[in-house]
Amino acid sequence: MGTHDKKFPIAAYAQSMHDVLLVSSFAAWAMLLGFAPVMAYRLLVS
C-alpha cells in the first residue's frame, strides 16, 4: 500500500507503525467492549 520513497525512508516505517497501532487499538476496544458485559454479569450474578 505504501510507496518506497528514497527521499523519505522513514515514511514506510511510519506507515507500518500507524497500521500496527490502528489494529491494536481496534483490538483493545473490541476486547474491552466484549469483556465489560461479561464482568458486569458476573458481578450481578454472584
pLDDT 10s per residue in the chain (46 long)? 555 556 777 887 888 999 999 999 999 999 999 999 999 999 999 8
* pLDDT of the residue at 20: 93
Q: Grid coordinates representing 45? A: 450474578
3-state DSSP call for residue 46?
Answer: coil
pTM of the prediction? 0.56
CA 7 remoteness from chain centre:
29
Q: Are 20 and 6 within 8 A, CB to CB? A: no
What DSSP state is assigned to residue 45? H
Please identify which residue in the block is written with the cell numbers 520513497.
5
